[in-house]
Amino acid sequence: MSKMKFGGTEEEVVTREEFPLAKAKEVLSKETIAIIGYGVQGPAQALNLRDNGFPVIIGQRKGTSSWNKAIEDGWIPDKDLFDIEEACKRGTFLCYLLSDAGQMQLWPVVREYLQAGKTLCFSHGFAVTYRDTTKVEPPKDIDVVLVAPKGSGRSVRRLFQEGRGINSSIAIYQDASGKAREKTIAYGIGIGSGYLFETDFQKEVTSDLFGERGVLLGAIAGIIEAQYEVLRKNGHSPSEAFNETVEELTQSLIPLIAEKGMDWMYASCSTTAQRGALDWLPKFRDATRPVFEDLYASVKSGNEARITIEANSRPDYKERLEEELSVMRNKEIWQAGIQVRKLRP
């Protein structure tokens, strides 16, 4: 393992140099990896594994759009694409990649095929952490592990194809075989992770729910809308407001942060921009910190999980979600974005 220093904190991580792909393939050579669910994470992880030469099959409901997507991606029915029950039966290393709602609904089916010696792998700690509510209680004689890529399925696939890969967290909930950790690392390397860092199921779901509601999705969308609305209120055109708020952020500045960090992005901007940003940074930090404190407390208490479970348990939750996304999609800012993207060279 490699040791990374973050200020005064030292952390151990696993890299591809220490645990090469050949070793990962050897560790999982006797396993049949079954990807259960071909929605968000399923396609990326399955395709990366296939491209890396691992034995992979897909479990997905027949007749769904995800089933058809799997066929488009080259999976062949009755060869390496099966309904969920058959894939669970054939698989020895089951990757449970349905949505949190789907995991709750399909658990009685999947649970039936978790015989002793199998491995159940998650990419999110939600179902197990909140098992009193989700009823996802794995049997004691199997390995239960987690490999959670720190990005969307599209990013997992795109970065793999670019030869880079995205970092993943790993965790062991149950080690019935005595080899759970080795298999977990092998799977993480197999899907193309840049490096692997250790956590546990509870910490993973807490940080994930917090991050998604915060900087990653909720906060950034809220801040973007607020800035756009102030610019429009003060007479700036949709094109100007969108470019100054979204286009420059996503096409110019975020890539610079990803490349070498926030200070590098600042240094790549004008001295006027740097001065203003340095002056206003603490104001935004101090204004939003109480919101983040409230958010973390809500996640830690289980309130956010309760809200999610209640919403996802409604029979019309998909329709309601689409309505909310439609409202976002039809806002002027994101309609302006459609037009601006058309004009990119």
Rounded CA-CA distance 203/129 in Å is 9
The model's pLDDT over 101-114, given as tens digits with 9 standing for 90+, comes to 899 999 999 999 99
Q: Which CATH number fits domain 2-199: 3.40.50.2000, 3.40.50.300, 3.40.50.1980, 3.40.50.720?
A: 3.40.50.720
pLDDT given for residue 41 in this prediction: 94
Of these residues, 50, 118, 124, 232, which one is catalytic? 124
pTM of the model: 0.89
Would strands 2-6 and 9-15 be described as parallel, antiparallel, or unpaired?
Answer: antiparallel
Query: Which residues, 6+ apart, have CB-to-CB distance to 100 below 8 Å?
Result: 124, 126, 127, 134, 308, 309, 312
pLDDT range class, residue 202, cuts 50, 70, 90: very high
Q: Rounded distance, CA 138 to CA 28, Å?
A: 21
**Domain positions in the chain:** 2-199, 217-342
The pLDDT, as a whole number, for residue 40 is: 87
Whether 225 shows a pLDDT value over 90: the answer reads: yes
Q: 119-122 and 2-6 as β-strands: parallel, antiparallel, unpaired?
A: unpaired
Q: How does DSSP classify residue 282?
A: H
Q: Degrees (nearest 5) of the Cα angle 238, 211, 189?
A: 110
Contact between 148 and 169 under an 8 Å Cβ cutoff? The reply is yes
Is the pLDDT score of 267 beyond 80?
Answer: yes
Rounded CA-CA distance 131/110 in Å is 15
Based on the residue annotation, tell me whether 124 is a catalytic residue of this protein.
yes
What is the spatial order of strands in the sheet that 143-149 belongs to?
A: 2-6, 9-15, 195-198, 168-174, 143-149, 119-122, 93-96, 33-36, 56-59, 81-82
Identify the burial level of 153 via C-beta atoms within 10 angstroms of its C-beta, where 0-12 means exposed, 13-18 middle and 19 or more buried: buried
Q: Are 185 and 70 in contact (CB under 8 A)?
A: no
Dist CA 98 CA 86 (whole Å): 16
Q: Tens of pLDDT along 29-52?
A: 999 999 999 998 999 999 999 999
Closest CA to 139 of 112, 179, 166: 112
pLDDT in tens, 78-89: 999 999 999 999
The letter for the amino acid at 207 is S
> pLDDT per residue over 5-32, tens digit each?
677 788 888 999 999 999 999 999 999 9
Q: Residue ranges of the alpha helices (H) in 173-331?
A: 180-190, 201-211, 218-233, 238-242, 248, 254-260, 262-267, 271-300, 303-312, 317-329
**Are 59 and 36 spatial neighbours (Cβ–Cβ below 8 Å)?**
yes
Q: Which two tokens stand for residue 55?
A: 């034995």
Give the β-pairing of 195-198 and 9-15.
antiparallel
